[in-house]
Amino acid sequence: MNLSEKIQDQFNANSDLRVLFFFDKELEYAEEIKTLENPDIKMIDAEKSHFSLKIKLEQKLSKEKVILYFPYGKPSSKEEKRRFILLDIFIANKELLLDDVADFINEFQLLPNQQKLVKTFIQELKFKKHQKVLMKYLTPHTFEEPNIIRGLISSYLEFSTVNDASLCLAKLMVWTLPKYEEKYIQFEKKLQSDDISGMVSKWLFDYFEIVVETITKDDIISAISKLKYNVLTQHLSELKDEDPYSKLRPKEGFTLQRMNSLIVEWENDTKLEKELNDVFSILGKPIKEKKLVDIYDADSSFTFFTDELKYLLLGETLKTVSAFPDKTLSLLQNISGSIEHKKELSALIKFIGSTANYFNKLNSIKSYKLDTPADYIHSYVENFSKVDTFYRHTVLAHETLQKLNLPDMISIGSLAKEIHATYDNYLIELNREWLDCMKQFDFKFNDIPVAKQVDFYKDQLAESDQKVVVIISDALRYECGEELLKEMLVDTKGNANISYMMTGVPSVTHWGMTNLLSDKPLTLKDGKLRIEGILTDGTANREKILKINEPSAKAVQYKTLNTLDRDDARKKYFNEKKVVYIYHNVIDAIGDDPKTEMKTFSAINDAIEDLKNLITKVHASFAVGRVLITSDHGFLFNYNTLPAASFQTAPKGNHLKQSNRYILTTDTKSVSNSFQFNLSDSSTIESDLKIVTPKAINRYKRQGSGAHFVHGGASLQEMIIPLIESTRKRKDIGKKVPFRLMNEELKIVSGALKVKLFQEQPVSSDNKTREIIMGVYNSSDELASSELIYQLDSPSEIATDRMKEFILNLDNKSAQESILTLKIFNQEDRDKLNPEITKKIINNTFMEMDF
């Protein structure tokens, strides 16, 4: 019976009762009294002036039923009664007396032999907040002392359900943090009860072998140090004599198992896990991670990591990542399998992961000497270009890292220099051998048996009988196209694939854009390119040239298209238009300006995001089934300031065109220390003009030119461009990205299961997106939790980016089963007959640990 019902019963049983006095010395009902809703009874808080209240009761409320709530005790002494102005009204009426024990037993239908236990804890059990937590134990079959004590401790610790010792101890340790001082003080007051204190003392002994009579904060802090030391060293079968903390290792093996269980459940609790590192770094400070690393070595196979330990290990791996990238990637995977990281640590892990990928690929290159020009191009596409990609990722991660405050133990300066130096050397070595090979073949670029940019229109559009949109992104080199493709492949509605083309030399916008326009002959006069007499510069001229082959063709700048709404864009550029060229310029616009060239790699990210969205828009909003994405040229980029030896003096003479990467000329008398070859061997133009390029990746000295981002020459990075074809025709690819479960054990804690998955490979042309459905199932093979649908679609080459955590919440019905099963299905397995993963779960919500 609740308070409102008891009050009503008093008035029902006493027809003459007008004022009911309720004294609440302990303020046990202060909150509940405020919620009373009874139109027939007026509730008055009698804390204020009793004189005015007495007048009100005798006049205005003389015919009302009133309950007076006094937030203090009943006057008992003669003096207190003499000063109590309402004494005469009190004597004439009645006091509300509560038999909490009897009411509690009746409400929950407990047995007579349970009365003593109720009486022991009634001062706490009568509170609704505690009853809510204890609900599953308020039955005759489960109302037992250990359950009640553990339930009250759970409620004191502000859990919504009864938890086992592990989580209660974890919460208590969290509350020992300075920011929770008030909560800890309140809990410590509850420890004055022998029953409550006794159970917590037992837990401290069972989990930490700590013997206490009166529990203090120092005891909890001692337990934290013991826990921290043992979870950090649990993988060590033998402790060293010089280990100053070895005395903290428990005597019994079961104790260490209990500590491990505690830490697992702590990490699996989505709220408490966020506090774990602070508990160990602030309260567990006496246990020095550096001392443990010094004693047991950084290569010790740690299985648990505090942030401090992560920084120490990452600081050590910064020194060795270039030589042992595989070892570094393994460490990162172990570290990333734990709780969510703060942004500084996350950025550091990303940088080291990118660096490990970079050196892994770079170290795998055994030789830059190949037999033929075609071998170089194929090897660049399949292998060498990955070095460019991983270097770009590493530079971007490093730029992010430089904006953050990192611990003193993290020194990345020397590693950054090594990254840039090795990349510069890679560019030089690769392109030196490539151009030496081309020299042996007399620089006959046109004779190399690979797809040519100049044949694009003939090969891709001339015989096409469907609407085609061509997107040309300025300076989108091949490796950037590979990354764009991965982002596109996340879209499961269509299909895309990538090939490559070789530009001519000079590898610049003017020539590349012209090569892509038509299958008609090109002409060069006065340094200007023309097709059918039409200049090839500018969007308007290019549209005129496109109309020679396809009268309905249109050409538009990406920025212009972006200003139009869907209907206007469709009407102007896409309805009834068979060929549409869209010109996109982000990378070249940033890289070609000396003021912004250092932002080139960031511009690539922006370009990829633009293009991914544009391709989706062209397919979906403009109803185009086939989209081709390519580029006019690639580029070279060196982050370092290049040494003086990388800059050559340009040959003197009367030249038609010159830049820092090429010269177009007939005047070659002064050419030295450079390569020269016929323009006609690298283009379709019959001419006696020569192309002159500096050695390898060198630049010609030019006032006002950028030195980091360059193009125009004959390096592989400048000449090899992507050709991506995207269609809405779905093509089934048998292989989908593989994945695995990272949890060694699955335990349900507080009615929820944390699942950690790792997508083992990035999305690519060989590994398509996988959509999965996961859920917890009971013994009847019925779904026992929330069901989660997720796409494994990360295109990232960095393994730590492909790790994901999920939370599955258990339903009330299945919470009573001790063993459950996690099942993960492919989305297309609609009848859920063949799970990809099946794993047993221990339900700790049901199986409480009894220590």
DSSP labels, 340-404: PPPHHHHHHHHHHHHHHHHHHHHHT---S--SSHHHHHHHIIIIIHHHHHHHHHHHHHHHHHTTS
Helix or strand run (H / E) with residue 200: helix 194-208
Say what angle helices 217-233 and 165-175 make with each other, to 10 degrees. 110
Round to whole Å and give the CA distance between 562 and 558: 6
Q: How many C-beta neighbours within 10 Å does residue 251 have?
A: 7
Q: How many C-beta neighbours within 10 Å does residue 96 have?
A: 18
Any residues with CB less than 8 A from the CB of 710 and at least 6 apart, and which? 635, 636, 637, 660, 661, 699
Helix or strand run (H / E) with residue 663: strand 663-665
∠ Cα 752 131 776 (to 5°): 15
- The conformation of residue 571, written as its DSSP 8-state character, comes to I
CATH topology of domain 447-637+719-727: Alkaline Phosphatase, subunit A (3.40.720)
Closest CA to 785 of 759, 746, 829, 757: 746
Which residue has tokens 């007399």? Answer: 442
Residue 848: its pLDDT value, please?
43
The answer to whether 474 and 516 have CB atoms below 8 angstroms apart is: no
User: Cα-flanking dihedrals φ and ψ of residue 626, to 5°?
Assistant: -130, 125
Residue 734: its pLDDT value, please?
59
Closest CA to 615 of 507, 490, 434: 490
| Three-state secondary structure call for residue 192 | coil
Check whether the bond before 178 is cis (ω within 30° of 0): no
Torsion of CA 146, 149, 154, 156, to 10 degrees: -170
The answer to whether 127 and 30 have CB atoms below 8 angstroms apart is: no
Say what angle helices 145-156 and 181-190 make with each other, to 10 degrees. 160
Q: Counting Cβ atoms within 10 Å, is residue 153 exposed (0-12), middle (13-18) or buried (19+)?
A: buried
Any residues with CB less than 8 A from the CB of 596 and at least 6 apart, and which? 590
Is there a shared CATH topology between the 447-637+719-727 domain and the 739-843 domain? no
CA 658 to each of CA 642, 686, 696: distance values in angstroms, whole numbers, following the listed order:
21, 20, 17
Round to whole Å and give the CA distance between 455 and 501: 9
Residue 812: its pLDDT value, please?
66
Yes or no: domain 739-843 corresponds to CATH 2.60.40.1930? yes
The answer to whether 822 and 784 have CB atoms below 8 angstroms apart is: no
The answer to whether 151 and 133 have CB atoms below 8 angstroms apart is: yes
Say what angle helices 478-489 and 600-620 make with each other, to 10 degrees. 50
Q: Where are the beta strands (DSSP E) in 558-658?
A: 579-584, 626-630, 636-637, 647-648, 655-658
Round to whole Å and give the CA distance between 811 and 794: 31
End-to-end Cα, the chain, rounded Å: 36
- Residue 721, strand partner residues: 501
Residue 779: its pLDDT value, please?
85
User: Cα-flanking dihedrals φ and ψ of residue 597, to 5°?
Assistant: -60, -25
Residue 338: its pLDDT value, please?
52
Pairing of the two strands 468-473 and 636-637? unpaired
Residue type, 613: N
- The conformation of residue 521, written as its DSSP 8-state character, comes to P
The pair of three-digit structure tokens given for residue 271, joined into one six-digit string = 């709220």
CA 584 to each of CA 125, 300, 503, 539: distance values in angstroms, whole numbers, following the listed order:
70, 51, 18, 11
Residue type, 825: F
The answer to whether 282 and 177 have CB atoms below 8 angstroms apart is: yes
DSSP labels, 422-477: HHHHHHHHHHHHHHHHHHHTTT-GGGSSS-BGGGHHHHHTTT--S-EEEEEETT--
Round to whole Å and give the CA distance between 461 and 468: 8
Residue 814: its pLDDT value, please?
64
The answer to whether 664 and 525 have CB atoms below 8 angstroms apart is: no
Count of CA atoms in the C-beta half-sphere (13 A) of 376? 26
Round to whole Å and give the CA distance between 579 and 738: 39
> Cα dihedral sign for 361, 363, 369, 370?
negative
The pair of three-digit structure tokens given for residue 407, joined into one six-digit string = 């611990």
Round to whole Å and give the CA distance between 755 and 823: 11
| Residues of the chain where predicted confidence (pLDDT) is lower than 50 | 846-851
Q: Taking the domains of the chain in order of start, what are their residue ranges?
A: 3-98, 144-296, 311-436, 447-637+719-727, 639-708, 739-843
The pair of three-digit structure tokens given for residue 335, joined into one six-digit string = 């570290």
pTM: 0.82
The answer to whether 638 and 519 have CB atoms below 8 angstroms apart is: no
The answer to whether 324 and 260 have CB atoms below 8 angstroms apart is: no
